[in-house]
Amino acid sequence: MGSQDGALAGKVALVTGSSSGIGEASAHALADAGARVLVNSSSSVEAGQAVADALSTESHYIQGDISNEDDCEALVAGAIERFGRLDVLVNNAGWTVRLDHADLDLMTNDVLFKTIEVNVYGTWWMSKAAMPHLKEAEGCIVNVTSIAGLRPVGSSLAYGMAKAALNSLTEDMAKFQRPVRVNAVAPGLVATPWTADWDETHAQLGAIVPARRSATPEDCAQAVMACVTNTYMSGTILKVDGGTTLVI
């Protein structure tokens, strides 16, 4: 997506899980609008550093696993130490695995716990650690959720449970943590490295949804930017699904 003429000049954004996919596209969009960006990944260190190096503004990479509360606090502290402020938190990092929703035996405790720890606990810990700084800056949070939190679809039952929890967290924080604005972007199926071999699924979706294709990371990043730059948006769950929820 194109530059937004420095709309975020002087601002600082932290994007979790930003070494690829939606997080990477969001980091580029924020930088193109003038923000300095803290890039993060749990394990893809070289890829994360490469994203930070490629951004159009001063940016920095920190490795951290958001399913660990100490890492969440360290990421926020790292942003403050490096840039002196925090205006935008994009809670993008997540984890899932593909499981048949109809077979409950596939949903082991290990899968359930990891899905909740990364998607829900991680987002909560990041938001809680960042909140004092965001309040000072009158900033915002954007949670990357999913239409799986709105419909019984998605990679697994646990994933839908987790994303529904994040949609609820978004609305609660928007109501009670003002002046911080809190919104969520809820994509449908997105063509990312993780879904690169889902050819049949992408084709099936493209045959039925009004948009006739899966989303791209850039589609989702545009929605993230709308949540960041529209200062009258708060408590919104913004679907980016090409009309998927109209037909399923």
The pLDDT, as a whole number, for residue 97 is: 83
Q: How confident is the model at residue 156 (pLDDT cuts 50, 70, 90)?
A: confident
The pLDDT confidence band at residue 98, using thresholds 50, 70 and 90, is confident
Q: Which fold has domain 12-239?
A: Rossmann fold (3.40.50)
pTM of the model: 0.94
The 10s digit of each residue's pLDDT in 173-212 is 999 999 999 999 999 989 888 888 888 889 988 898 889 9
User: Which pLDDT band, with edges at 50, 70 and 90, does 3 fall under?
Assistant: very low
**Torsion angle of the four alpha carbons 151, 154, 159, 161, in this order, in degrees rounded to the nearest 10:** 10
Least confident of 97-101, 119-123, 207-211: 97-101
- Work out the pLDDT band at 2, boundaries 50, 70, 90: very low
Confidence bin at 100 (pLDDT 50/70/90)? confident
pLDDT for position 5: 65
Question: Active-site positions?
Answer: 159
Give domain limits for the chain: 12-239
29-58 pLDDT, tens per residue? Answer: 999 999 999 999 999 999 999 999 999 999
Q: pLDDT confidence of 4, banded at 50, 70, 90?
A: low
pLDDT of residue 191: 87
Q: What is the pLDDT of residue 76?
A: 98
Indicate whether 106 pLDDT > 80: yes
Q: What is the DSSP string of 86-148?
A: --EEEE---------TT-GGG--HHHHHHHHIIIIIHHHHHHHHHHHHHHHHT-EEEEE--GG
Helices within the chain (DSSP H only): 21-32, 45-54, 69-83, 109-116, 122-137, 157-176, 199-208, 217-229, 244-247
